[in-house]
């Protein structure tokens, strides 16, 4: 072995740390995480404050509503509710009420001068339809035919049926009529509206 060559495992120079990468990416990630954390804290704080604001607003509005309720008298409110239900019930009763007197007006307007009615019958069948029965007399058979045409022109009388056409001892023609009446025509509210329009 050569005496000049010294073999030693102890380094003669100070050891310096060598970093493989730079510190810039670690700093960006750290900064981004801090910003996100602060933003989430701020959002959580804002949410908490908004919830507290809503709770306080609900409490204030509930108190205001209670004060408003106390300002009205409960007895007056109960009376108004009862009056409202009576008015509704009255409208229902009037709306379903039938006025048979409107049939007389119809007969007055559509009966010929040469025809007269001796008997009048009115009934309501199971379906709520009005049925009119008439016994009448006319001067001639042609008057009966004209009366049939006149009733046929009416949209109110349905299923008009003339029957028992005969002559009596005085030479007058007797007959009977049966017809159904449009239910809408018999409703009191419709008759009342027509009467008000004619005034």
Task: Compute how many other C-beta atoms are within 10 angstroms of the C-beta atom of residue 3.
Answer: 5
Categorize the per-residue pLDDT at 55 as very low, low, confident or very high, splitting at 50, 70 and 90.
Answer: very high
pLDDT of residue 191: 55
Q: What is the mean pLDDT of residues 56-78?
A: 84
Per-residue pLDDT reduced to its tens digit, 102-136: 788 888 888 888 899 999 988 877 776 788 899 99
pLDDT digits (tens, 9 = 90+) for 11-48: 566 656 555 555 556 778 888 889 999 999 999 999 99
Mean pLDDT for 88-101 is 77
Q: What is the pLDDT of residue 52?
A: 94
- Which of 85-99, 161-175, 182-196 holds the top average pLDDT? 161-175
Task: State the pLDDT confidence band at 194, using cuts at 50, 70 and 90.
Answer: very low
Does pTM top 0.75 for this prediction? no
Structural domains for the chain: 101-198 (3.30.70.2830)
Query: Residue 49 pLDDT > 90, yes or no?
Result: yes
């Amino acid at each position: 072995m050569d005496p000049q060559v010294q073999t030693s495992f102890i380094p003669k120079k100070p050891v310096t740390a060598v970093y493989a990468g730079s510190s810039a990416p670690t700093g960006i990630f750290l900064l981004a995480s801090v910003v996100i954390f602060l933003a989430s804290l701020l959002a959580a704080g804002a949410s908490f404050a908004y919830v507290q604001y809503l709770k306080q607003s609900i409490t204030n509005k509930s108190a205001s509503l209670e004060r408003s309720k106390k300002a009205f008298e409960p007895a007056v409110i109960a009376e108004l509710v009862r009056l409202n239900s009576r008015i509704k019930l009255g409208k229902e009763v009037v709306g379903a009420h039938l006025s048979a007197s409107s049939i007389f007006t119809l007969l007055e307007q559509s009966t010929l001068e040469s025809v007269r009615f001796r008997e009048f019958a009115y009934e309501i069948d199971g379906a709520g339809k009005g049925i009119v029965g008439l016994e009448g007399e006319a001067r001639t058979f042609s008057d009966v035919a004209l009366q049939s045409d006149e009733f046929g022109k009416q949209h109110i009388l349905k299923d008009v049926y003339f029957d028992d056409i005969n002559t009596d001892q005085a030479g007058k023609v007797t007959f009977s009529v049966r017809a159904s009446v449009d239910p809408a025509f018999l409703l009191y509210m419709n008759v009342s509206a027509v009467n008000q329009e004619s005034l």
